[in-house]
Amino acid sequence: MDRLSQLPSETLWQVFSSIPASSLAHLRFVSRKMRLFADHPMYWRHVILARPSCHEEDPLASSTSMASRRLDLWTLRELDFILRPHCQVIRSIKVCGVRDDIVRFILTHCHELQSLTLCGWTTLSNHAFKQLHPRLKLQRLQLVGAKDQPNYTAMDATTLAQLLLSCPLQDLTIGCQIHIHAATLLMELTAKKKTEPRSAFLPPPQLQRLSLGTRRTWSLHHIRHLFDICPALISVALCPTSADGTHFQPNAFIPSHQDSHPTNTIVYRSHA
């Protein structure tokens, strides 16, 4: 480590750019010089948190990487140690192996966060998404199911509606086992606008793209109603095979061209 600190600053900037966030968090305690580099905002705007067991730089690039091994989950203590000093500068997080308390910590402390990708868990519940920072700037949320993992998310329609109305979420991808009752979601989105104390000042949901790993309860009538409620909505994609992580690719699954989707995906687009 002494040799590292003796390197020219220009070289250190390059070296630190290849060090994962979990290691940077420890380097900041080595010396004052190391802290100066390890804490620089340029290394913390876009954070990737992957366990060594994932065996790849970005485990979120392939959901099949964890197929043959037990999922290694982060603890809240670990995430607090890594992220808390930098919450104000973080713009995007990709994390592999999460729990409810991990998601809750991120959504309540990283209020400048614009993009969050979660890959791999045993179960996620409503509690993961109910506590949000009041000024959360989240625009993109991806839940990526890992192959051969439970991938179950117990988020109900009420919680999803609250999420859509509480932050400027534009791009939502849920590629995991989930049951969002379409009629309940639409009812909640409409009702909350009427019942919130300052409903006149609440903007409509800013959702532009929605991708769900299910077709259950969704009919053409529900899709049309969703387009009416969300004036910015461009496309809705329903793909049940993405729920097990088998055919899910985080970027390709976002609706842009028909050929980007698995053959059994139904894509609806706005005609506005």
Inter-residue contact 207 to 183 (CB < 8 Å): no
User: Can you tell me the distance from the alpha carbon of 128 to that of 28, in angstroms, rounded to the nearest whole number?
Assistant: 29
Look at residues 180, 172, 176, 154 and name the one whose alpha carbon lies nearest to residue 241: 176
pLDDT at residue number 126: 92
Report the CATH number at residue 179.
3.80.10.10
Out of 9, 28, 43, pick the residue that ends a domain: 43
Q: Which pair of tokens denotes residue 75?
A: 């603890």
pLDDT at residue number 271: 65
Q: Which helix (H) or strand (E) holds 245?
A: none
pLDDT at residue number 9: 81
The parent domain of residue 6 ranges over 1-43
Is the same domain home to 234 and 258?
A: yes
Q: Are strands 235-238 and 266-269 parallel, antiparallel or unpaired?
A: antiparallel
For helices 182-195 and 220-229, what crossing angle results, to 10°?
Answer: 20
Output the CA torsion 208→104→48→89 (10° steps). Answer: 80
Is the same domain home to 170 and 59?
A: yes
Instruction: Say which DSSP state 3 is in.
Output: H
Is the same domain home to 25 and 122?
A: no
> Which residues is 237 bridged to in the sheet?
211, 267
Is the same domain home to 129 and 255?
A: yes
Give the chain's count of helices (H) and strands (E). Answer: 10, 11
Is the same domain home to 141 and 248?
A: yes
3-state secondary structure of 211: strand
Q: Which helix (H) or strand (E) holds 5?
A: helix 2-5
Q: Which helix (H) or strand (E) holds 107?
A: helix 100-109
Is the same domain home to 221 and 102?
A: yes
Per-residue pLDDT of the chain (272 residues; tens, 9 = 90+): 567 777 788 888 888 899 999 999 999 998 888 899 999 999 999 999 987 655 444 444 444 444 445 778 999 999 999 999 999 999 999 999 999 999 999 999 999 999 999 998 878 999 999 878 888 999 999 998 777 677 788 999 999 999 999 999 999 999 888 888 999 999 999 986 665 554 444 567 899 999 988 777 889 999 999 999 999 999 999 887 555 554 444 443 333 333 345 555 688 887 65
Is the same domain home to 84 and 29?
A: no
Is the same domain home to 133 and 175?
A: yes
pLDDT at residue number 52: 64
- Total tally of structural domains belonging to the chain: 2
Is the same domain home to 186 and 209?
A: yes
pLDDT at residue number 250: 40
Is the same domain home to 77 and 39?
A: no
Look at residues 115, 108, 53, 112 and name the one whose alpha carbon lies nearest to residue 79: 108
Is the same domain home to 129 and 261?
A: yes
Is the same domain home to 20 and 129?
A: no
